[in-house]
Amino acid sequence: MLLVVDVGNSHTVLGLYEGSELIGKWRVVSATYRTGDELFILLTMLLQSINVNPKTISGCCVSSVVPQLNASLQYVCRHAFDVDPLMVEPGVKTGIILQCDNPKEVGADRIANAAGALSEYQGPLIIIDFGTATTFDVVTERAEWQGGVIAPGVQLAADALFERCAKLPQVDIIPPKNVIGRDTVTNIQAGLTYGYADMVDGLVDRISHEMRATPKVVATGGLAKIIANVGKRIDIVDSLLSLKGLRIIYERNTGTTP
List the catalytic residues: 109
CB 136, CB 128: distance < 8 Å? yes
CB atoms within 10 A of CB 188: 24
Burial class (CB in 10 A: 0-12, 13-18, 19+), 93: exposed
Reply yes or no: is the peptide bond before residue 124 cis, omega within 30 of 0.
yes
CB 130, CB 241: distance < 8 Å? no
Distance CA(70)–CA(87), nearest Å, equals 9
* Dihedral pair phi/psi, residue 127, rounded to 5°: -110, 125
Which pairs from 46-55 meet CB under 8 Å and 24+ separation? Answer: 46/14, 47/16, 50/16, 50/23, 50/24, 52/1, 52/16, 52/23, 52/24, 54/80, 54/81, 55/81, 55/82
How big is the chain, counted in residues? 258
User: What is the DSSP secondary structure assignment for residue 64, as one 8-state letter?
Assistant: E
Distance CA(124)–CA(121), nearest Å, equals 9
CB 28, CB 15: distance < 8 Å? no
CB atoms within 10 A of CB 100: 14
